[in-house]
């Protein structure tokens, strides 16, 4: 990504990632579609409630993978084969360690945390089962993200797409067989996702073992390098905390939503699944820009870096808002795909009609955070997410609840904090970060 047309490089890298993220989103969406239609609203509410908690727990470890990707991309851009090899095998070692930690934490903490989230008794047991089965397969999704992070850092976004397409088909087939065919419940949805992710991780690992390049994976070279661990933690820890902070705020909001009952949980949960598809272009361009920025800074191509940021920003904001408008218009039919209960649909539409028109602000926040991570400045976006998305959201909901108990506060908290975070990141990038490229 350090040579040739900037626009072509970014788009050609982002398109496979877009398709990959599309299939990734299908994991949760298919689970919810089949659970909502074949098991019922309570089961859909259980999957939705557990989902936010799952993202909070895995977000930290995925952030570490992002940090590892930044380090690897920097060495790839600098053509430093020895350090690239060391970074790759240290990253895999960390992934295996995190898999064990994730399994223990996820399975053990499920009952306590879900109760703290005010999960209704009617769906509590199903939520616990879904959460525990999902995390029993932690090695699959952690190692998948680890291997994909290595491939993407090296500029390969096509092979992860192919493997994800295959595993998505496996996930759908298992869901249909176990839930629609055999009448199993939410535990089958979690099991299907865990198995399909494990399969995609194995495919990625085989690819890395076959490549003839510095980022090739050799199992007997797995080893923790102390200096490399420090660098990965330096870039990854803020990203991991940022992901956890973002997810924590959603868990807090979910606890407020839970207090309005199973119908609200199911409706907003269904909308969230649809919203995930609308944000796929944002995720694709932000992941592409992190690799682009990191590789080009490693190659000391600073002017090229700035041009790439401008182009990526335009693509991200335009695509996000265009899809936001479409979701605003088709919110009702979209939610109905998951659950045809009128009250469930109403909750989902209410949420859509408030947040969809502000998608460009959320997209800008994620994009600038990715740019700063690629530049080696992960602390600033972490602090923005902590203060603007976590602290502000909790304070807003707590204060509002003292005066009026309405679910609309859980809707408006998103655009309000998006405005705040995008403003802060805009000022930081213009006054601090972009100037650093001029003096490097």
Q: Locate all alpha helices (DSSP H) within 259-358, ordered by sequence.
A: 262-278, 280-298, 302-329, 331-336, 342-355
Predicted local confidence at residue 439, as pLDDT: 44
In this prediction, residues 305-327 reach a mean pLDDT of: 92
pLDDT at 64 over 90: no
Q: Sort residue 103 into left (φ over 0), alpha (ψ -120 to 50) or beta.
A: alpha
Q: What percent of the chain has pLDDT over 90?
A: 24
Q: What is the pLDDT of residues 133-164, one digit of tens each?
A: 888 888 888 898 899 889 988 888 788 888 88
Which of 102, 38, 140, 79 shows the shortest CA–CA distance to 299?
79
Side-chain-side CA neighbours of residue 50 (13 Å): 31
Predicted local confidence at residue 202, as pLDDT: 94
Residue 377 CA, chain-centre distance (Å), reads 20
CA 13 to CA 23: how far, in whole Å?
16
250 is a domain residue: yes
Q: How many structural domains comprise the chain?
A: 1
Q: What is the token pair recorded at 281?
A: 């272009």
**Could you tell me the residue range of the domain that residue 229 belongs to?**
6-439
Side-chain-side CA neighbours of residue 89 (13 Å): 18
* Tokens 């900037």, located at residue: 6
pLDDT at 114 over 90: no
Sign of the torsion formed by the C-alpha atoms of 363, 303, 21 and 98? negative
151 is a domain residue: yes
**Who has greater pLDDT, 390 or 43?**
390
**Who has greater pLDDT, 210 or 375?**
210
1 is a domain residue: no
Predicted local confidence at residue 440, as pLDDT: 44
Sign of the torsion formed by the C-alpha atoms of 333, 337, 342 and 343? negative
389 is a domain residue: yes
Predicted local confidence at residue 40, as pLDDT: 67
- The overall average pLDDT reported for the chain is 84
180 is a domain residue: yes
Predicted local confidence at residue 356, as pLDDT: 94
Predicted local confidence at residue 300, as pLDDT: 83
Q: What is the token pair recorded at 241?
A: 């905390």
Which of 151, 177, 167 shows the shortest CA–CA distance to 38?
177
217 is a domain residue: yes
Tell me which H or E stretch contains 341. Answer: none
Residue 359 pLDDT grade (very low, low, confident, very high; cuts 50, 70, 90): very high
Predicted local confidence at residue 69, as pLDDT: 83
In this prediction, residues 122-126 reach a mean pLDDT of: 78
Of the listed ranges 57-66, 98-107, 391-400, the one predicted with least confidence: 57-66
Residue 413 pLDDT grade (very low, low, confident, very high; cuts 50, 70, 90): very high
Q: What is the pLDDT of residues 76-113, one digit of tens each?
A: 888 888 999 999 999 999 999 988 988 888 888 878 87
Question: In this structure, how many other beta carbons lie within 10 angstroms of the beta carbon of residue 227?
Answer: 10
In this prediction, residues 175-190 reach a mean pLDDT of: 81
Q: What is the token pair recorded at 151?
A: 């491939």
């Amino acid at each position: 990504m350090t040579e040739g047309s900037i626009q072509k490089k970014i788009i050609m890298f982002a398109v496979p990632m877009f398709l990959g993220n599309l299939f990734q989103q299908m994991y949760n969406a298919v689970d919810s579609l089949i659970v909502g239609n074949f098991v019922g609203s309570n089961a859909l509410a259980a999957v939705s409630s557990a989902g936010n908690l799952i993202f909070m727990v895995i977000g930290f470890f995925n952030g570490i993978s992002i940090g590892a990707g930044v380090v690897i991309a920097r060495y790839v851009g600098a053509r430093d084969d020895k350090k690239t090899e060391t970074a790759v095998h240290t990253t895999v070692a960390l992934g295996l360690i995190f898999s064990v930690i994730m399994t223990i934490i996820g399975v053990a903490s499920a009952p306590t945390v879900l109760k703290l989230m005010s999960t209704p008794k009617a769906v509590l047991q199903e939520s616990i089962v879904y959460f525990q089965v999902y995390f029993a397969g932690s090695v699959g999704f952690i190692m998948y993200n680890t291997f994909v992070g290595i491939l993407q850092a090296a500029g390969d976004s096509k092979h992860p797409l192919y493997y994800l397409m295959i595993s998505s088909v496996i996930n759908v087939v298992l869901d249909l067989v176990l839930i629609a065919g055999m009448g199993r419940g939410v535990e089958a949805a979690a099991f299907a996702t865990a198995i399909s992710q494990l399969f995609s991780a194995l495919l990625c690992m085989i690819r890395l073992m076959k490549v003839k390049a510095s980022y090739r994976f050799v199992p007997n070279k797995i080893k923790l390098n102390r200096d490399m661990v420090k660098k990965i933690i330096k870039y990854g820890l803020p990203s991991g905390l940022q992901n956890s902070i973002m997810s924590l705020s959603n868990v807090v909001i979910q606890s407020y939503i839970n207090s309005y009952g199973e119908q609200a949980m199911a409706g907003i949960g269904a909308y969230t699944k649809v919203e995930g598809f609308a944000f796929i272009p944002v995720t694709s361009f932000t992941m592409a820009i992190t690799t682009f920025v990191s590789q080009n800074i490693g190659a000391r191509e600073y002017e090229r870096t700035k041009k790439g940021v401008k182009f990526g920003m335009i693509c991200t904001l335009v695509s996000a808002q265009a899809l936001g408008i479409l979701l605003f218009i088709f919110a009702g039919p979209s939610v109905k795909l998951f659950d045809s209960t009128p009250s469930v649909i109403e909750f989902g539409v209410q949420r859509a009609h408030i947040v969809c028109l502000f998608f460009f602000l959320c997209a800008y926040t994620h994009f600038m955070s990715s740019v700063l991570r690629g530049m080696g400045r992960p602390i600033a976006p972490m602090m923005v997410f902590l203060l603007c998305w976590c602290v502000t959201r909790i304070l807003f909901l707590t204060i509002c609840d003292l005066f009026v108990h309405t679910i609309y506060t859980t809707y408006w908290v998103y655009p309000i904090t998006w405005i705040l975070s995008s403003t802060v990141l805009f000022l930081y990038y213009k006054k601090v970060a972009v100037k650093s490229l001029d003096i490097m």
